[in-house]
Structure 1
Amino acid sequence: MSKPLRVAAVVVTYNRLALLRQCLQALTNQTVTLAAIWVIDNASTDGTGEAVRAMPLSHLVYRNTGRNLGGAGGFAYGTREAAAAGYDALWLMDDDTIPENGALEMLLRADENLQGNYGWLSSRALAPDGSDQPMNRQRVTPYRDIGSYEGAEIPAVMASFVSLFLPTASVRKYGLPIAEFFIWSDDWEYTRRISRKMSCYVAPASRVIHAMQNPGTVNIATDVPARWERYHYFYRNDVVLYRREGLRGWLWLLAKDMWHTLQVLRDSRGHRWMRIRTIWKGFAAGVRFAPEIKYLR
């Protein structure tokens, strides 16, 4: 009989204490006990640090990054620290992820079915109303979302950091998420980096609720105005991701950004030229952007 895997959950948080409490409660309710729960706090100012330190959980590890590194920086930090601590696998998620009680057990069952021969596993992410979260649909190619969740383990090439199960061996071999992305596309890039070399899978029986505040696909033409400025990162980071796919990747980038531009022109909420500049300045920045992939020492 194989030795049980020592799994550490890695939760990245920033100023969402109420959601973080729900996430941590769900992690403690798992049918399989975690070896540790790491909370990576991007320097929250809402009392997160004090609240987490006061929680009566002996296996909880709290780390404050000292400043807001963005989701990408938080996951790079947490993956590095937890992997270096020697766990067999990491379970990555945002603070608004609420796993069902059997989510980890189903990931471990998939690990057993696959005999450990995979780069990563990803859970099925649902909205609070039970529908699938569109932003978290895994991709079966870099250009096409998963069609259905029928089956035990479904091959995929991209997944989000909303419940990603990652053997530490994958981290050691393929490196860390790119912290310099700050937000957006860090999970797509990281999971695609691994899936180019190893088979990776969705485990649909493992289910989580993603209680995100702004559900939907990432698109400056359809998102709320309060988030428009941050879209520079999205259009920049996507260039790094898709240029690695060769000519087809470049064509995909151009088609997507042109489509978003047309959608902005048709949107009645104004600030059209600001949004269009964001798209194409981000694209131009991505052409010059060459972030280094860092590895565990």
Structure 2
Amino acid sequence: MRAERASKPETVAIVVVTYNRADLLARMLEGLAALERRPDAVIVVDNASTDHTPEVLATAQETAALAGLEVLRPAENLGGAGGFHHGVREAYARGFDRIWLMDDDVVPSPECLTVLLAQDEDCLMAVREDTAGHLVEKAATRFDLRNPLAIRPKTGMVETEYGERARMPERVELENVAFEGFMVRRAVVDAIGLPDPSYFIFYDDVDYALRARRAGFRIWAVRDAVLVRQLSFDQQHDLSGWKGYFMYRNLFVVHLRYGENALVRGKPWLIAAAVVLLSPLRGGRAEAANVIRAMRDARGMRFVPTGSVD
């Protein structure tokens, strides 16, 4: 198989999911058009945007600045998870050798795709910097689902371990990823199936990485494959609002599905109880209601999806 790949260049499709961030998307598409190694297809899943995203995409298609640009527009917002499920399914069905997943708020450096395709690995991650050139790669180098005392399972990440991209080795092994520059070969989809759309937002990328690693794949961050993130990571989500519900629910699902012992799998109940008990002091009734609902719904998602791509 490796000899066959060496004699025949691999094809690659980029899958982008977007929703109501037209200006970010426009800059991102410009970055894709400037890649020195052009992708064979760019599949944009527009999650029923209500801003001028359709106009941005139509202009990009009319000017043909980005060859192979195709738009999938579901009738409703499927969330990031549903969008990636939809886009990866399409790319896989069309037979591309590699699938590169991206949000609409990152811009690749011109050589990014060239550098990634030079790596003969099944799972790769580009490295994110901010617009000032600072390393902001938060993919986990350690994701602990064994220790029940680990409040957050992510106990190490690229940014905190290295500080600067120049200090990284050429490749760093990861234990989870973000769908902002994650590339997989179709063999990965063969083995583990598609991203799980039931997450809607948050943790769908973590889930996919955990499934890949469970199937025996190793994941590598590639130092010289750079993505520039247009937004900062300092946005705070309201845990008493709708995003808070998904953050709690999906964190609980990851523990229930992949916790390596009974204590870790029981941690969601402890977290939920603590949030409810502390709700008079922080979060209030809305957060308490969110976490109770999240715990209930997470139990219904506790089984790992099959490897089917249907």
Q: TM-score, normalised by structure 2?
A: 0.81
Which of residues 265, 279, 284 in structure 2 aligns to 1:250? 265
1:116-135 counterparts in 2 under 5 A? 116=121, 118=122, 120-133=123-136
Q: What displacement does 1:265 show? A: 6.6
Q: Is the 8 A contact 1:13 1:39 kept in 2?
A: yes
Question: Secondary structure in 2 aligned to 1:240?
Answer: helix
Is it true that 1:85 corresponds to 2:87 in the alignment?
A: no
Q: 1:275–1:131: structure 2 CA closer, same or farther, 3 Å change rule?
A: farther
Unaligned runs of 5+ in 2: 1-5, 145-152
**CA distance in structure 2 between the aligned counterparts of 1:94 and 1:177, rounded to whole angstroms:** 14
Q: Is the 8 A contact 1:138 1:160 kept in 2?
A: no
**CA distance in structure 1 between the aligned counterparts of 2:191 and 2:30, rounded to whole angstroms:** 32
Which of residues 177, 184, 188 in structure 2 aligns to 1:170? 188
Question: Secondary structure in 2 aligned to 1:171?
Answer: helix
Q: 1:204–1:283: structure 2 CA closer, same or farther, 3 Å change rule?
A: farther
**CA distance in structure 2 between the aligned counterparts of 1:209 and 1:263, rounded to whole angstroms:** 39
Which of residues 176, 181, 185 in structure 2 aligns to 1:158? 176
Greater mean deviation of Cα atoms: 257-266 or 204-213: 257-266
Q: What displacement does 1:293 show? A: 4.2
Is it true that 1:276 corresponds to 2:294 in the alignment?
A: no
Letter in 2 for 1:11: V
Q: 1:123–1:230: structure 2 CA closer, same or farther, 3 Å change rule?
A: same
**CA distance in structure 2 between the aligned counterparts of 1:140 and 1:285, rounded to whole angstroms:** 27
Is it true that 1:237 corresponds to 2:250 in the alignment?
A: yes
1:62-101 counterparts in 2 under 5 A? 62-101=71-110
Q: 1:160–1:224: structure 2 CA closer, same or farther, 3 Å change rule?
A: closer
Q: Is the 8 A contact 2:237 2:244 kept in 1?
A: no
**CA distance in structure 1 between the aligned counterparts of 2:240 and 2:229, rounded to whole angstroms:** 19
Q: 1:264–1:19: structure 2 CA closer, same or farther, 3 Å change rule?
A: farther
Question: Secondary structure in 2 aligned to 1:54?
Answer: helix
**CA distance in structure 1 between the aligned counterparts of 2:276 and 2:58, rounded to whole angstroms:** 46
**CA distance in structure 2 between the aligned counterparts of 1:165 and 1:252, rounded to whole angstroms:** 31
Greater mean deviation of Cα atoms: 257-266 or 234-243: 257-266
Q: What displacement does 1:175 show? A: 0.3
Taking only aligned residues, the RMSD between alpha carbons, in angstroms, comes to 2.6
Q: 1:237–1:60: structure 2 CA closer, same or farther, 3 Å change rule?
A: same
Is it true that 1:109 corresponds to 2:113 in the alignment?
A: no
Greater mean deviation of Cα atoms: 203-212 or 3-12: 203-212
Unaligned runs of 5+ in 1: 218-222
Is it true that 1:137 corresponds to 2:139 in the alignment?
A: yes
Greater mean deviation of Cα atoms: 223-232 or 83-92: 223-232
Report the identity percentage: 26
2:300 corresponds in structure 1 to 288
Q: What displacement does 1:239 show? A: 2.1
Q: What displacement does 1:139 show? A: 3.4
**CA distance in structure 1 between the aligned counterparts of 2:277 and 2:221, rounded to whole angstroms:** 33
Q: Is the 8 A contact 1:177 1:293 kept in 2?
A: no
